[in-house]
Amino acid sequence: MAICEFLPRALCRFPAISDSYIRQARQVIDDGFRGLVREYGYIIDALKAPLQWFLNYLERLFTTSPWTVVLIVMLLVVYFGSRSIRITIGTAVGMILIGIFGLWEDTMTTLAIVTVSTLIAIVIGLPIGIVMARSERVQGVINPILDVMQTMPSFVYLIPVVVIFGIGKVPGLIAVVIYAVPPMIRLTNLGIRLVDKEVLEAADAFGSSPGQKLWNVQMPLALPTIMAGINQTIMMSLAMVVVASMVGVGGLGRNTLQAINNQFFTYGFLNGFALVAIAIIFDRTSQAFGKRLQRHSEVVHG
């Protein structure tokens, strides 16, 4: 640029720190991080063990049980969750198609990891959401963290997860949970904050302790929003299992990854559709269940 001839160098080209400094800093941080991981490896392993056990147990249960048993149990869960024949029939059709195209086992693996990650996300997200709803300060701290978690490209946080936990199913699971937990936290927080102030005042007037208020009033009234959070969490873990296949999670995600690498057009789409089928089953069932919890608000006095 001609204009640069009249300007001091620093005002024209951005004066970045020299490459060697950055390289050094990077090295120090990375080495320190790895060193820490090596040092406290036993703690990390102890943390990993129960997750590994639970995940393996569920995966084995899903994949080794006869498909008939799994399908019947699944249909029962769907029916009693949604009380809808249509959703149940849809589930049956979807699962049978998945089986016919030879994706049954991979689907079971994916189902196992999605189930585990959703449960973990609820167990972590619910209490954090509750604490957040009760304190402005906690909300002020956690909100930006959630913003970062949700906007950071999912590939990036695979890196620290792999550094800390290595390659495998559990690191993949952890990555999925990190990705899926923010809506759970946010919607729990929102649900509790939206509870009618007058009802809360009534609860106070009758002498409720904070715990009684939480369990008798806030949680039941926040439930529809919390259910929406669970629904979102399930959808996000389904999306993330595909990415997590890069660090060694099996199932439909790995098939998709292979299809990308080898340009297997049909294979890729078959696996994609299988994921869509599971997503729809989860979504419709959990939504119908959430709605059923809301029976009291449906009938309105004319």
Partner 1 sequence: MASHGIEIKGLYKIFGPKGRDHVEAVKNGLSKAELNERYGHVLGLKDINISMPAGGITVVMGLSGSGKSTLIRHINRLIEPTYGELVYNGINICGMNDRDLREFRRHKTAMVFQKFALLPHRTVIENAVYGLDIQGISRTESTKKGQYWIERVGLSGFENHYPNQLSGGMQQRVGLARALTNDADILLMDEAYSALDPLIRVDMQSVLLDLQAELKKTVVFITHDLDEALRLGDKIAILRDGQVVQQGTGQQIVLSPADDYITAFVKEVNRGRVIQAKTVMAPFDGQADGARIEATTTLEGAAKIMTENGLSKATVVDDAGTPIGTLDLQTMIAAMVTPAGSEAEKIAAE
49 versus 202: smaller Cβ distance to partner 1: 202
Look at residues 240, 225, 229, 227 and name the one whose alpha carbon lies nearest to residue 117: 240
In the bound state with partner 1, the residue whose beta carbon lies nearer, of 161 and 203, is: 203
Report, in Å, the least distance between residue 291 CB and partner 1.
14
Report the nearest approach of partner 1 to the CB of residue 268 (Å). 46
* Nearer to partner 1 (CB atom), residue 38 or residue 296: 296
- Find the shortest distance in angstroms from Cβ 208 to partner 1: 5
Closest separation in Å from C-beta 123 to partner 1: 24
Maximum CA pair distance of the chain? 79
CA distance 217 to 200: 7
Nearest approach, Cβ of residue 267 and partner 1 (Å): 48
Task: Establish how many alpha carbons lie within 13 A of residue 298's alpha carbon, considering only the half-sphere containing its beta carbon.
Answer: 7
Between 209 and 266, CB nearer to partner 1: 209
**C-beta closer to partner 1: residue 27 or 216:** 216
**Which positions lie near partner 1, rule CB under 8 A?**
196, 198-199, 201-202, 204-209, 212, 216-217, 220-221, 223, 295-297, 299-301
Give dist(CA 249, CA 202) in Å, integer: 50
What are the angstrom distances between the C-alpha of 117 and each of 47, 110, 137, 179, 277?
Answer: 15, 11, 28, 10, 19
CA distance from start to end of the chain: 74
Specify the DSSP class assigned to residue 232.
Answer: H
Cβ at position 136, least distance to partner 1 in Å: 15
Distances (CA, A) of 152 to 56, 119, 146: 29, 23, 10
| Measured distance CA(70)–CA(104) in Å, rounded | 11
Q: Which is nearer to partner 1, 161 or 195 (CB)?
A: 195
